[in-house]
Amino acid sequence: MMRKLEGNRDIPTGAVHAFVLCGGAGTRLRPVLADRPKSMALISGTPFLQLLLDRLRSQGVDDVILGTGYMAEKIESYFGSGNKRAMRIRYSREHEPLGTGGALKLAEPLISDPVLVLNGDSYVEWSLVPMLELFRAKDADLVVVLHAVADVTRYASVALNQDGRITEFIEKGIRAGPGLINAGVYLLRKEVVRRLPAGTAISLERDIFPRLLDRRVYGLVCTGLFIDIGIPDDFKRAQTLLASRIGTACHASSAPGTFGDTT
């Protein structure tokens, strides 16, 4: 899959590797999900992680690294090498919790530049080409997919300027009411990963991203479906919302005029 940028530059979307964070213990879901990792929660009989892989394939990404940890063997035995799904799937297994930043650092030898990073417990209808266009046009260090919600209390949110540049990362619980949240999909320059300390538990969202604000960090608003299955109520809601996404390639993209639109 290719698409030209201004200046006749081509974007080989297939050259972008995805790193999916799926090593968490999912303690909040234990009452309804005790026998498997959170990313393997079933949606109409299909593992949630399969929906994320389907989304990746629909965007031309077929080289994926799964960052496993808790019950890693459940994920690795189910997906294997990815051959049956026309993908290349590799694994980076944590032997102790390293946080989102530490997990990505562990996978550094396997990732592309830039690398596409996804949370393994959120379904977002992101689109890769607009992310790459914004990344190249702004010479960005980081592009974050954002989503508008009625109440940001449960999520980490952001502040944007008129150019679509992120000016503040706001921890969850600090603000309430409508706003833009970090939807858990990132396009990140590999140099940022190289600078992370190895073997250290560290959070991308809390420890790393705020430090990048004096560089080039941009947000791209996604207007499609977003759902985080991290708590039982939302996991139950996902059963209905995601049923139609099973076995389909979704092509929803950001609407023209949203922050980060470079067309």
Which residue spans within 120-164 are E strands per DSSP?
122-124, 142-149, 157-160
Residue with tokens 């393997």: 40
- List residues bridging with 118 in a β-sheet: 20, 185
Q: What are the C-alpha distances in Å from 3 to residues 6, 12, 77, 221?
A: 10, 8, 35, 20
Q: Which of 177, 156, 138, 122 is nearest to 260 (CA)?
A: 138
Q: Look up 172 and say whether it is catalytic.
A: yes
Token pair of 246 as six digits: 């099973």
Catalytic member of 38, 84, 172, 190: 172
Query: Residues with catalytic annotation?
Result: 172
